[in-house]
Amino acid sequence: VFFFSSRRRHTRCSGVSWARRCVQETVVFPGAVHTRFEHSLGTAHLAQKQARKIFKKQPTLVSGPEEYKQLLQRDITLAGLCHDLGHGPFSHLFDGEVIPVISPGLNWSHEDASLMLLDKLIDDNSI
């Protein structure tokens, strides 16, 4: 459980969808909201939009039935959605400052953790 404060109130938050990535953004842009959850949804949306644009401009890029393009677009969208699964608390600070202290010499990154978590989710859920 994380506690974050703002000028107006103290908020008790739990879960990725409520944890703020950039607390300072509310000072500069008072109406701004940017959680990891929203970031992942936005990335998935932009990945899907870009895939559609590429396939429209380069129709011969993927050969085979239309279903192949649809599956590839789905996979690109899912990649955007899952790209930051492995981030620890406080994002890149965790990668660069916390991990080296608790596990010196470990060659670890949030990208590696994202792959491990996604593999576990796929295995555990027989996907």
Amino acid at 28: V
| Burial class (CB within 10 angstroms; exposed 0-12, middle 13-18, buried 19+) of 57 | exposed
pTM over 0.85: no
Dihedrals φ, ψ of 77, to 5°?
A: -65, -45
Residue-wise pLDDT for 61-108, tens only, equals: 888 888 998 999 999 999 999 988 888 777 778 888 888 898 898 888
Of 40-44, 45-49, 81-85, 87-91, which range is least confident?
A: 87-91
Whether the per-residue pLDDT at 47 is higher than 80: the answer is yes
* Helix spans in 1-127 (H): 25-28, 36-57, 66-82, 92-93, 99-102, 110-124
Residue 76: per-residue pLDDT: 95
Residue 5: per-residue pLDDT: 39
Options 34, 45, 92, 110, the catalytic residue? 110
Does the annotation count 10 as an active-site position? no
